[in-house]
C-alpha cells in the first residue's frame, strides 16, 4: 500500500480548493454580466408595461408567493401613486457563489424613475437550472 504523508494530503487538498476557487472567480464576471442582461430585460419589460413578460422572468418560488394578477396590480398601483414609470436604472450589481443550493445569487440595486418621484429597490436573482430568475425584491 502506498503511504501518503500528512503534508501531501494537505497540499493536495489546498490544490483542489485553489482549482475550484479559480474556476468560480473566473466565472463571477460572466455571471455578473448574465445577471445584468436578465435584469435589463426585466426592467425593459416593466418600463414598457409588459407585465406578462416581466412575470415570466420570475422564479417558481416568487410565482408561488405572488400570482400574476397580484404582480400586475402591485405595479399598476405604483404607477397610479407615482405617475408613469419612465425608466429603471441599474445602479449596482454583484453576484456570489456558495456551496449550498442555489449556488449563484445575484443582487441588483436599481432606481425606478416615475414621473412624480423615484424609488430605490434591491432585486435578488437566483440561478436555477441554468437560468437567472427574479427571486424577490425589497424597497430601500
pLDDT score of 46? 95
| Inside any domain, residue 121 | yes
Q: What is the pLDDT of residues 51-94, one digit of tens each?
A: 999 999 999 999 999 999 999 999 999 999 999 999 999 999 99
Q: How many domains does the chain have?
A: 1
User: Cβ atoms within 10 A of the Cβ of 67, count?
Assistant: 11
In a domain, 45, yes or no: yes
Task: Decide if 79 is inside a domain.
Answer: yes
Report yes or no on 75 lying in a domain.
yes
What's the distance, Cα to Cα, between the start and end of the chain in Å? 62
> Beta partners for 132?
127
Residue 2 lies in a domain: no
**Structural contact between residues 117 and 107, judged by C-beta atoms closer than 8 angstroms:** no
CATH number for position 21 = 3.10.450.100
The confidence band for 18, taking pLDDT boundaries of 50, 70 and 90, is: very low
Q: Which domain holds residue 131?
A: 8-139
Q: Is residue 3 part of a domain?
A: no
Amino acid at each position: 500500500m502506498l503511504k501518503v504523508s500528512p503534508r501531501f494530503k494537505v497540499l493536495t487538498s489546498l490544490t483542489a480548493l485553489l482549482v475550484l476557487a479559480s474556476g468560480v472567480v473566473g466565472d463571477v464576471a460572466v455571471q455578473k454580466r448574465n445577471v445584468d442582461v436578465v435584469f435589463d430585460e426585466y426592467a425593459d419589460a416593466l418600463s414598457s408595461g409588459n407585465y406578462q413578460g416581466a412575470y415570466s422572468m420570475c422564479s417558481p418560488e416568487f410565482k408561488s408567493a405572488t400570482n400574476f394578477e397580484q404582480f400586475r396590480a402591485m405595479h399598476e398601483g405604483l404607477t397610479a401613486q407615482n405617475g408613469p414609470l419612465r425608466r429603471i436604472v441599474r445602479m449596482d450589481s454583484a453576484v456570489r457563489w456558495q456551496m449550498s443550493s442555489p449556488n449563484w445569487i445575484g443582487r441588483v440595486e436599481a432606481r425606478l424613475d416615475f414621473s412624480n418621484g423615484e424609488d430605490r429597490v434591491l432585486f435578488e436573482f437566483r440561478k436555477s437550472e441554468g437560468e437567472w430568475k427574479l427571486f424577490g425584491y425589497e424597497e430601500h
